[in-house]
Chain A
Amino acid sequence: MHKIADIEIQHDILIANRKLAKRNQKILDKANVFAVDVLGAIGSGKTSLIEKLIQEMNHPVAVIAGDVISKFDAGRFEKYDVPVIGLNTGKECHLDSHLVEHALQDLPLDEIEVLFIENVGNLICPVDFDLGSHLRMVVISVSEGDDTVEKHPLIFKDADLVIINKVDIAQAVGADENKMVQDVKKLNPDVNVIKTSLKENKGVSEIIKSLEEFMRQ
């Protein structure tokens, strides 16, 4: 004879990730490291921005580079002689707390003050996965089109700092960067939105100022 039984489980996979994210944040706090999750569309300028910040910030920096094939972006960061961990996400579309937890074990946390985590270029999937960072910076560019914000509202609702990059080519691609700023503000009225051209080195000092303000909080 067999019997049927109902078993309550109530295990939320996404909440499990969030719990792990909290644990990551504790590890970072203990080492006094300020961590920034750098999110954004493919090719929007995430790596370029982190390269600038490594050179111009007055804090020792490390980078976790998440990419489908990590050696490309990780290789770009290694030139600056900062600790770099490349995470191969393979077919995955986002980083998760578990991957980051392993990377944290391999970083000299006591020697750094700021950690940039470059997420996979994707405006959709990373939204579901906190990593334990203190700040979520979303980098988009005018070349994705000025309706990007309207199409992907969630990532902007959750953002702490939004960068609209490549304003130098806004006219060429027929995009209105100010519309993009307004769209972000509609979703997230208090967030700081900074327009940049990394090519012409515009806006980077404003980003650093904003990051340093967050670090003091």
Chain B
Amino acid sequence: MHELSMADAIVKTVIEAAEKNDAIEILEVTIEIGQMTMLNPEQLKFMLEVLSEDTILNGAEFNMELIPIEIECLSCGFKGEADSEELDHYIPVINCPNCEEKNMNITAGRECNVKNIKIEKSDEDA
């Protein structure tokens, strides 16, 4: 639902980094999306492609990497990946895989991280 504003922020971040590194073209962008965010990766990708038109990002490939939810259970002390039963396509319900309780801290899965980019740059400088 807020894919557009996220995509906008991602595009700004990528273009800034590309310009700083004298890119002439951006080939790939890798983005990590936590499974616990309210973001739909496919929608986000679509928005990114739309916003890329007429920028240095045009034609770049967007790799969306899903980050699983990790928890720390406050009932039994379990640490690790959570069970997320998909209620519908973006709202996981979370239980501790060890004791099935729901009282826990979330330690991973809330990311929307621009991880890295692959760029083409002129070889003349050195």
Tell me if B112 counts as interface (CB < 8 A to partner A): yes
Please indicate the chain B residues that have their CB under 8 angstroms from the CB of A154 in the complex.
36, 38, 91
Main secondary structure, interface of B, reads mixed
Query: Is B114 touching A10 in the complex (CB atoms < 8 A)?
Result: yes
Point out the residue from B4, B6, B116, B119 that lies within 8 Å of A13, measured CB to CB.
B6
Q: Give chain B residues whose Cβ lies under 8 Å from the Cβ of A186.
A: 102
- Min C-beta distance of B120 to chain A, whole Å: 5
A 72-96 binary contact with B (CB < 8 Å = 1; else 0): 0000000000000000000111101
Stretch at the interface among B13-21, B49-57, B58-66: B13-21
- Closest chain B residue, CB of each to CB of A96: B5
Residue of B17, B90, B111, B113 touching A7 (CB-CB under 8 A): B17
- Provide the A5-41 mask, 1 if CB < 8 A to any CB of B, else 0: 1111111111110000000000000000000000000
- Given A2, A7, A96, A157, which contacts B123 in the complex, CB threshold below 8 Å? A2
Contact (A9, B117) CB under 8 Å given A125-B1, A128-B2, A152-B91: yes
CA distance A5 to B121 in the complex (A): 7
B1 x A3 contact (CB < 8 A) = no
Is there an interface contact between A9 and B17, defined as CB atoms closer than 8 Å? Answer: yes
Contacting residues, chain A, for B103 (C-beta < 8 A): 188-189
| Chain A residue with the shortest CB-CB distance to B29 | A9
Q: Are A13 and B36 in contact (CB under 8 A)?
A: no
Secondary structure class of chain A's binding surface, majority of residues: mixed
What 1/0 flags go to B91-126 for Cβ under 8 Å of A?
A: 101100000001100000011111111111111100
Contact, CB under 8 Å: A9 / B116: yes
| Bound Cα distance from A187 to B18, whole angstroms | 43
In the assembled complex, B9 has its CB within 8 A of some CB on chain A: yes
| A151-B92 Cα distance, complex, nearest whole Å | 10
Given contacts A9-B115, A10-B113, A152-B91, contact A16 B120 (CB under 8 A): no
The answer to whether A153 has its CB under 8 Å from any CB of chain B is: yes
A159 to chain B, nearest CB (A): 14
Over the window 148-188 of chain A, the binary record of Cβ atoms lying under 8 Å from chain B Cβ atoms (1 yes, 0 no) is: 00111110010000000000000000000000000000111
Q: Find chain A residues with CB under 8 A from B121 CB.
A: 2-5
Which residues on B are within 8 Å of A, measured CB to CB? Answer: 1-2, 4-6, 9-10, 13-14, 17-18, 21, 23-24, 27, 36-39, 87, 90-91, 93-94, 102-103, 110-124
Q: Could you list 16 further interchain pairs (A-B, Cβ under 8 angstroms) beyond the known A12-B112, A13-B9, A92-B5?
A: A2-B120, A8-B115, A8-B116, A9-B115, A9-B117, A10-B115, A11-B13, A13-B10, A14-B110, A94-B2, A125-B2, A128-B38, A128-B112, A151-B87, A153-B102, A154-B91
- CB pairs A–B below 8 angstroms (10 shown): A2-B121, A4-B118, A7-B17, A10-B113, A12-B114, A13-B114, A14-B112, A124-B91, A151-B87, A186-B102
6 tightest CB-CB pairs across the interface, nearest first?
A12-B113, A1-B123, A14-B112, A93-B1, A13-B9, A13-B112
